[in-house]
A and B are shown apart, each in its own frame.
Chain A
Amino acid sequence: MLKSDLINVLVGKKGMTQKQAEATVETIFESMKDALCRGENIEIRGLGAFHVKNYQGYQGRNPKTGQIIPVKPKRGLLFRTGKELRDRVNRPAPQTPQSDISFDPKSGNGTY
């Protein structure tokens, strides 16, 4: 699934325009990116948590030549899967229709 597929889901299930869906998806990931860049962690219940980790610099080595290279301190990103998703990924539920989130064109709701 790509960003464009996610946009299509919003258009299909929420009746948004293509433009609105693009702006929405862009806003969601930009705001997450901005928070992480501020050094903030993100916790999405059921999905997982993103944790910004500060690494200290160290003396690294070029594995081919053995030459010592200083590695600068930096920030990395760790993701820990939330419990619900961890269980669902590992033990997928039998494919039963989930009416609460599947798109039903006849229901007529969900159009903005």
Chain B
Amino acid sequence: MTKADIIEGVYEKVGFSKKESAEIVELVFDTFKETLERGDKIKISGFGNFQVRQKKARVGRNPQTGREIEISARRVLTFRPSAVLKAALNGEQIPENHSELDAAEDAAADAAEAAGLDPEDLDEELEEVEEYKASASGMKAKAE
């Protein structure tokens, strides 16, 4: 799916012209970009949250040469799908406490960030929510 398909959906379902639909969808994503550029969060209920996170400088490695390189501190965008979207992806029933689940995940990510762990690295490297949660709560336990 690309922007063109989203525009098509707005054209068919909401009834704007193709040109209007294109401008509207463009405006929505431009608004997204401006908001995130300012460092503000975006929360779309039933879909997910977009949040800018500050990452500290760290030492990485060039995978080709094996040479160590410093990865500078930076701001990155992270996206967390809502519990509703995750359930839908898996054809599961929407959990009744979905807003609490989302809040708990946000809190775990904030805790991991505060403890010096990188929530995004965890997502990528562990690639498992359960494992991620386990390490986040482990980090919390260690900190206490």
Contacts and interface: CB of A to CB of B under 8 A. Distances in A.
Interface residues of B, number: 59
Contact of A77 (B23, B24, B81): B81
Given A89-B52, A90-B75, A3 B45 contact: yes
Interface string B111-133: 00000000000010001111100
B73 to A, nearest CB: 10
A36 B43 contact: no
Contacts of B138: 63
B9 A28 contact: yes
Contact of B9 (A27, A60, A71): A27
A75 B90 contact: yes
- Report whether over half of chain B's contact residues are helix, strand or loop; otherwise say mixed: helix
Interface string A12-46: 01100000100111011101110111001111111
A6 B29 contact: no
Nearest to A85: B33
A40 B137 CA distance: 33
A46 B37 contact: no
7 contacts: A1-B40, A3-B43, A6-B28, A40-B1, A79-B78, A89-B75, A92-B38
Top 6 A-B residue pairs of the complex, sorted by shortest distance between their CB atoms: A79-B79, A31-B9, A35-B1, A63-B134, A42-B1, A77-B81
